[in-house]
Chain A
Amino acid sequence: MTFLQPWLLAALPLLTLPIIIHLINQRRFQTIQWAAMMFLLAAQRMARGYSRLRQWLILMFRTLAVAGLIVAVSRPLASGWLGLVSGGQADTTIILLDRSPSMQGRAPGSGESKLETGRQQLVQILQTLSSNRYVLIDSASRQAREFESPKALASSATAGPASAPADLPLMLQAAYDYIKSQRTGRTEIWICSDLRANDWLPDNSRWSALRDAFLELPQGVRLQLLAYPAPSAGNISVRVTSARRQMSKAGPELMISVRLARGEDGEKRQIPLQFEIDGSRSVINVELSGRQTELRDHRIPIEATQARGFGRVSIPADANPADNEFFFVFDEQVPRKTLIVADDPQAGLPLQLAAGISADDAVTCSADLVAAEQLAATEWDKISLVLWQTPLPRGSIAQQLQTFVDQGGQIVLFPPREPSGGEFCGQSWDGWTDGAAAVESWRGDADLLARTQSGAALPVGQLQIHRHCRLKGESTSLATLSSGAPLLGRAQTDRGGVYFCSTTPAAQDSTLASNGIVLYALIQRAAAAGSAVLGKTRWLEAGNAAGEALGQWKRLSGTEDGLSTEAHCHAGVYTEEDRLRVVNRPAAEDEEKQLSDATVNELFRGLDFTRVDDRAGNASALIQEIWRMFLAVMLVSLVLEAALCFPKAVAARETAL
């Protein structure tokens, strides 16, 4: 129970008032010399049962009346928090609002989403609790915005649904930064979320730093979690895994792959998939069995003149409308051109073969071996990938490569025969280490070594590394050798990709060339990623629009909700000059993995943290003032006390004299 005027609880010692009055009354008794004491003593002996109970009841009701009055004037709040916590008005209330697609889930029989319900509950709670200042940090912008009153939260465009995932550590960081910069007083942070693991990132190293930072804040910060952990029952998500234009004998057609997924196993269902391309629609029934089903390379004929276009795949409405549609764009394939700079022909040749052979007839691949000095004349806007197996670039060459990366290009660097110092993207080679090593672990969930579309893992574990070159600098390891050294690491970049492979495909260094699957997949994926930024279409994950000129975006398709400045956070198709941009929710949003209670408690360990679970569509207020109830308790106690104290009418006694 929380109190709006908790300092009035300081009057609780007044509960002893009835006892004190009783003691004072004893002093004020009229004293009389009495002869017939034997009757009084007999009467007292009779007063063992009810009479004694009555005395205690009177004391209890008097105490209850005083307690009821004190609690009533302290303005108690009824809420899901049954424990007694010290309350009071906060100086600043910060709301962290999870607007991710999963928050649009609805409970069965309810028209309101988790986000709408949470927003309304927050409005009601904040109106009751009141605060000097209200700040909203939403998951899409992650920027602190002040608003005047709780009601503004209900109508705020920045509190509506979005397709971007939430990043709770970053949002908490934003809250912490706000508290530090504004030097707020006692602060309450309200987190409204559905506890999706992809939004909370419980393994993120920021959590421990945030915990320590909040604990060090002198003004005291209380964290309140308004959680909607109930999964959206029966929800099915649709996702386009690839969409490409290709020529067939009948003419141009769109090859589109679609994946349907759901949170739990269920019976087989026929799901009508609706494709909409430039206004023309087609429907196909897909049988969903198990957790997910993928429709591969579904062919849809398109106009012969249509080289570029966009469309939408949708399924009928279910528990979460946010994952019922997926936008896509298609374009003519961009040739994948790879530049190879290698000082060791034994390494350069396998790289050239892997980069020059296309896996898809529709895609043209080419790989050119060039010397580092020739790079100055390179047309970088046609290059997808650079494979670098010479000493790390310096000077103007390094500058050109950095620009290439900043524009979305991909570079994979292999160690030279003679590492000669130098640094690129914070990394440098530190000499060769002889000795066979096996690959101990690698990331199969994302990036260059991810599993194939069929779910099969790349045979990275079969590689034999005869020797490797040590790498200095901070990087994200995608594959690790048994010695603990990285085999493949990714440097931190804003855009594009810079990978460091600690061995070469040369036969004396590794079996990358002889066991070419890993090398081929790695290079083709890097080339594909590089070519994706060269074309006039681009697939973007909502919330991540690095390098995009958002101000020039114009919506072609998608939801009309949201601000234009937040276009990258809303699923849809946008145009920027002659280029198409498609924004969709990230793949992680389709995973219904949630945080366990223990994990949540661990994340907030040591902090002043309270959690209450709510459900979508809950119309009853989570928190409400209940002083009337205590006033009623007081009145009832007074009435009962009066009834017990009321002197019984003593009948005129016949004295029998």
Chain B
Amino acid sequence: MKNENIVELKGISVAFGGEKVLDDFNLEIKDKEFVTLLGPSGCGKTTTLRLIAGFLEPDGGDVIFEGRRINDLPGYKRHVNTIFQRYALFPHLNVYENVAFGLRIKKLPEKEIKAKVTEMLALVNLSGLEKRNIDTLSGGQQQRVAIARAIANHPRVLLLDEPLAALDLKLRKDMQKELKKMQEQLGITFIFVTHDQEEALTMSDRVVVMNNGKIQQVGTPQDIYNEPLNAFVADFIGESNIVDGKMLRDFYVEFSGQRFDCLDKGFEPDEPVDVVVRPEDVDIVAPDKGMLTGVVTSVAFLGVHYEIIVDIGGFKWMIQTTDEHFEGDRVGLYIEPDAIHIMKKSEYSGLYGDYSSYSEEIDHLSDADYGEEDGGE
């Protein structure tokens, strides 16, 4: 049987000073795949990357590369290249020499090096900057040098450690598209680390959602968004209302004091569950036509839509709507069966998905926290 996994992590555990960073971690990555490790800071995603790069040896478990165990193989012998969070370009070398660094170590003939560097710089749109010093480049340009330097070595796998975190929003969006295009063009496996869920959803073939050194869910962006496995995933990816519910029987669930048709099955009769409803999947209707009724407690205009908070029996729902509503309005909520997603109870039940203490500022602040370096060192 042909094994098409290029990287496999089997039962990996890593601890720093007694603190478990990765715990019985298993992951398989296919050749030419774009996989994103997504999670809050300290979830172990950078550590995972460093294991594959060879900067770190696991305390337990195996790192497999193309079917071979490479736990003890030093980083410089691995067919893997990394794009570092802060680029780590060599300040004593110019753009050309930075890109040529890996090629010189391979002792390629000068002519070949020149051709390769020229090709790489053209690929990242930096032709003509060969002689420039690194510190005269903008952040975006440095980023491109880092990409060229890594790809010049024809890695089988490219590891990207939050490479876009330092760029401004506009540039970040452009680079996301460019990286994705590059990955398809070059046919290299990309393993991308980020704390930005939107980035993960736009770029990846598969997303690995991590928290506390454990994988929470692996799947396509659509899977992760539409079928989150637990309250952590539902909350971390996009906005979610997560309420306690009871699965009465297949395709029939009770929450917020009402009973609803749904599309989920396979639970025990009367099994307690977490119910996820995305804010954009709720329709606001007249109170007498609603399946649930509540009072609007706050309204925020975000341009594309309004984000309103509705109090339903003490639980605050977030709803996105294009119609204007006002604080104090009594409204009805209509939820289609396919908008209801049922999850098994987990350790995260009850921790997320209630918007009682919600405010824009707090959301932004906690987002900024994720920018901190992952707890790898």
User: Is B truly associated with A?
Assistant: no
